[in-house]
Amino acid sequence: MSNSSNAVANGLAGAGGGIIAQIITYPLQTVNTRQQTERIAKKGLRNSHGNLPTSKQLPPGTLRQILQVIRTEGWGGLYSGLKPSLFGTAASQGIYYYFYQVFKNKAVAIAAAHRDKGRGDGTVGMFSWLLVAAIAGSLNVLFTNPIWVLVTRMQTHTQAERKIMEARREAILMEGTESGLIDSTLQEKLAELDSEKPRPYGTLHAACEVYNEAGITGFWKGIVPTLIMVCNPSIQFMIYESSLKHLRAKRATNKQGSTNVAAWEVFLLGAIAKLGATVSTYPLLVVKSRLQAKQEIGGNISLRYSGTLDAIIKMIRYEGLPGFYKGMSTKMVQSVFAASVLFMVKEELVKAYMLLAHKSQKVIYSLKK
């Protein structure tokens, strides 16, 4: 198989594996995004800037949150933004794996050329793998960030609307207290507020909301932490490629015949690789989600971020370092399982493609005879 067809095969296989992994783990991703964007004031901080919850008002655990979403929003609540997310996953994995394979082929060719000149043993080093993954990741981020802004908005829309309704309820109660409204009038206003039906909110609504808030640049919110997070797949693929290379080399040394790696071994290697990458870059993911989600309404300055640095400073000031690791356990389960499924499906699809291509070449060769 040629280098170009190999890159296409990896791109298509990555897209297919990414879609399957996304569908399976999407409910966890939705809950995790809501956990990341939930503000919790650090212990001992006076709540003088608004409605920032305290540590005594911690949200329920992941399982309870999933059940709560099902009870209040139905199963559809767990899959808010699934359509653009699937498109984004296919685009992200396809773009990433395509460019990764393209630059990987170039790195292998350069290493081979150096070997022919008497420099090195012809293998690609750790730094080269890291650089290849970083370039592919950066191109992927620049192309697909608008999609993930919309997905984050759709995943957190119900959460944001609930906070807006709570703020309106508090305003009515405060108005009633200050102006001395009679109970019947106050109850009528509260009943009118409760009777309001949630507005439909789809991909187009999210896109219009983002554009009305910040114009075209709004679709690239969170781009700075996202670009820095390119080191996540870089670390992930460095661990994966190195582990896979070590495993195959070990089998070749032990003379076990075939150096093929089984699906369960790829699954395990993918899980280990993603685990290490997720732990090291999670705080950036939280900052990205905060920037891409709908900014809080009202005068609470602790809940509004003007940019990446502003978000980091306010999170440290109002929530402390634990704020950067909110939903970490949920993300680890979701990421590790999704990455494991993705790698396993991708490798099997590439094998199937190569087998089909080999059989096609044999048929064409036999016909030429």
Counting beta carbons within 10 angstroms of the beta carbon of residue 142, is it exposed (0 to 12), middle (13 to 18) or buried (19 or more)?
middle
Q: What is the DSSP code string of 97-157?
A: HHHHHHHHHHHHHHHHHHHHTTSS-SPPPHHHHHHHHHHHHHHHHHHHHHHHHHHHHHHHH
What is d(CA 87, CA 92) in angstroms, rounded to the nearest whole number? 8
What mean pLDDT is predicted for residues 245-268?
77
* Higher per-residue pLDDT: 227 or 158: 227
pLDDT mean across residues, the chain: 80
Residue 43 is predicted with a pLDDT of 61
Residue 182 is predicted with a pLDDT of 63
Residue 48 is predicted with a pLDDT of 47
pLDDT tens track for 127-175: 787 788 889 889 999 999 999 999 999 888 877 777 777 777 777 777 7
pLDDT over 70 (residue 87): yes
What is d(CA 91, CA 333) in angstroms, rounded to the nearest whole number? 23
What mean pLDDT is predicted for residues 208-218?
91
pLDDT over 70 (residue 310): yes
pLDDT tens track for 111-139: 888 888 888 777 877 778 778 888 988 99
What mean pLDDT is predicted for residues 18-46?
80
pTM comes to 0.68
pLDDT over 60 (residue 50): no
Residue 143 is predicted with a pLDDT of 93
Counting beta carbons within 10 angstroms of the beta carbon of residue 299, is it exposed (0 to 12), middle (13 to 18) or buried (19 or more)?
exposed
pLDDT over 50 (residue 291): yes
Most confident of 3-12, 54-63, 165-174: 165-174
